Amino acid sequence: MSFKTIGVIVKPHTELVRDKLEHLLGFLKNKDCEILLDNSVDGLLDVDSHFVTRDELGNRCDIVIALGGDGTMLNAARSLADKDVPLIGINIGRLGFLADISPNQIDTVLDDILSGKHIKEKRFLLEANVVRNEEVIFSADALNDVVIHVRDVARMIEFETRINGQFVNHQRADGLIVSTPTGSTAYALSSGGPILQSDLDAITLVPICPHTLSSRPLVVDSSAEVNILISETKQAIAQLTCDGQTSFNVDIGDHIIIKRKQHRITLLHPQGHNNFDILRAKLRWSE
**b/e map 102-116, b = 16+ CB within 10 Å:** ebebbeebbeebbee
CA-to-CA distance for 148 and 249, rounded, in angstroms? 10
Distances (CA, A) of 97 to 10, 106, 165, 222: 17, 18, 34, 21
CA-to-CA distance for 32 and 102, rounded, in angstroms? 23
How do beta strands 34-38 and 51-52 pair? parallel
Torsion of CA 139, 121, 222, 215, to 10 degrees: -90
Show the 3-state SS of 125-149. EEEEEEEECCEEEEEEEECCEEEEE
Distances (CA, A) of 83 to 25, 88, 118, 130, 265: 23, 15, 20, 24, 9
The neighbouring-strand residues paired with 155 are none
Question: Phi and psi dihedrals of 81, rounded to 5?
Answer: -60, -35
Catalytic sites, residue numbers: 70
